[in-house]
């Protein structure tokens, strides 16, 4: 794995890391570049989001003659258009589409499957809070230039070859792992380039920060409730942080430490988050940074989905934090 200094461009990182993998060749590099292109488009649109209502009220029509779209639809289209670049992807699973998008034959079906949440935390758009795009990448099982199948998509989490997210906050940051460490690149909007700002992000073992929506506590497994209550004894200086946008909550915990939880409840035993494009990529990044991710029973990356939009409970962050939660959940007393 080449070492990278702060300030390295995302393009150079892509060039250097993909040349080290003989399987990657040009397709993988192009895939990452296309993700970065869509990220820049969405970032620019997010920065204008406050004006969307005002412009929308005038019935604004864009150059294609289409009405201005909601941001999550815009993001979905931007990533799909970027990823149907010839000979790169064969299928795209998006939170916004019930069925996978199979790359049309005229664009040549490539080697990779991308699972994507085009805009995570979209309920936060109206209040200018941080949102993001989450993605995970699998290599297909079936031969290239043939139609992709369901088995190319429904793979075990461990099979992922890359995962990341783009966070649109006070700055736009592209966080990526191809398995060798986790690296964050910050967009300089004046030149449209991402520069390495956080090389080799590592999660320490333990941090007294937790992120969970306690509004649902009455619906949790009582063992989890007891554990969370035990953190509030005033002696251990635990801090609670919850934005309500997975990408923003996880990003803060990745940089500063902490554990994120979205447990199942009595009403929704599998919780809310989706395995393919929320749980898997976030778990891949956490593990690549030395952390852990579990659904309460097994490692997230050991799971194999049986449907595209399957949900999963999620406990992710510093490894000792996750272990503490697992012992609390499995405590027999």
CB of 146 to ligand AHG, least distance (A): 32
Pick the closer one to Mn ion by CB: 119 or 167: 119
Nearer to ligand AHG, 30 or 122 (CB): 122
Nearer to ligand AHG, 89 or 119 (CB): 119
Contact stretch for Mn ion (CB under 5 A) within 93-101, 160-168, 236-244, 308-316: 93-101
Among 247, 230, 244, CA closest to 286: 247
Cβ atoms 185, 6 nearer than 8 A: no
How far apart CA 197 and CA 288 sit, in angstroms, is 17
Rounded least distance, CB 22 to ligand AHG, Å: 35
Q: Is 77 in the site for Mn ion (CB under 5 A)?
A: no
CA-angle at 28, arms to 285 and 189, nearest 5°: 70
Residues 118-157 that bind Mn ion (CB under 5 A): 119-120
Answer whether 109's CB lies under 8 Å from 145's CB: yes
Q: Which is nearer to ligand AHG, 77 or 95 (CB)?
A: 95
83 touches which of Mn ion, ligand AHG, none (CB within 5 to 8 A by kind)? none
Number of chain positions touching Mn ion (CB under 5 A): 4
- Tell which residue, 254, 233, 235, has the closest CA to residue 316: 254
CB 288 within 8 A of CB 244: no
Q: How far is the CB of 213 from ligand AHG (least distance, A)?
A: 3
Among residues 157, 190, 196, 203, the alpha carbon closest in space to that of 303 is found at 157
171-210 burial, b if ≥16 CB within 10 A, otherwise e?
A: ebbbbbbbeebbbbbbbeeeeeebbbbebebebeebbebb
Residue whose CB is less far from ligand AHG, 122 or 321: 122
From the list Mn ion, ligand AHG, none, partner contacted by residue 211 (C-beta under 5 to 8 A by kind): none
The Cα–Cα gap between 170 and 153 comes to 34
The interface with Mn ion within residues 239-278 (CB under 5 A) comprises: none
Give the shortest CB-27-to-ligand AHG separation in angstroms.
27
Q: Which residues bind Mn ion (CB under 5 A)?
A: 95, 117, 119-120
């Amino acid at each position: 794995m080449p070492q990278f200094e702060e300030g390295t461009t995302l393009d150079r990182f892509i060039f250097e890391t993909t040349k080290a993998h003989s399987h990657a060749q040009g397709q993988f590099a192009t895939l990452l570049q296309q993700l970065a292109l869509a990220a820049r488009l969405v970032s620019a649109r997010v920065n204008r989001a406050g004006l969307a209502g005002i412009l929308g009220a005038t019935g604004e029509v864009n150059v294609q003659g289409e009405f201005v779209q909601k941001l999550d639809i815009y993001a979905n289209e931007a990533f799909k258009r970027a990823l149907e670049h010839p000979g790169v992807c064969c299928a795209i699973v998006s939170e916004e589409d019930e069925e996978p998008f199979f790359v049309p034959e005229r664009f040549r079906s490539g080697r990779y499957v991308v699972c994507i949440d085009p805009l995570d935390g979209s309920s936060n758009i109206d209040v200018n809070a941080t949102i993001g795009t989450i993605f995970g990448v699998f290599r297909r099982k079936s031969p290239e230039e043939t139609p992709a199948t369901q088995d190319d998509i429904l793979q075990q989490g461990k099979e992922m070859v890359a995962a990341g997210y783009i966070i649109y906050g006070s700055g736009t940051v592209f966080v990526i792992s191809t398995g060798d460490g986790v690296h964050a690149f910050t967009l300089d909007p004046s030149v449209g380039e991402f520069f390495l700002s956080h090389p080799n992000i590592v999660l320490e073992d333990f941090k007294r920060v937790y992120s969970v929506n306690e509004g649902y506590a009455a619906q949790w497994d009582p063992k989890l409730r007891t554990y969370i209550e035990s953190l509030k004894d005033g002696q251990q200086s635990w801090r609670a942080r919850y934005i309500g946008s997975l990408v923003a909550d996880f990003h803060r915990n990745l940089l500063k430490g902490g554990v994120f939880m979205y447990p199942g409840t009595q009403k929704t035993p599998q919780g809310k988050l989706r395995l393919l494009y929320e749980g898997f990529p976030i778990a891949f990044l956490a593990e690549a940074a030395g952390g852990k991710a579990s659904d309460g029973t097994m490692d997230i990356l050991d799971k194999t989905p049986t449907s595209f939009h399957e949900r999963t409970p999620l406990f992710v962050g510093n490894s000792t934090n996750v272990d503490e939660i697992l012992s609390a959940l499995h405590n027999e007393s």
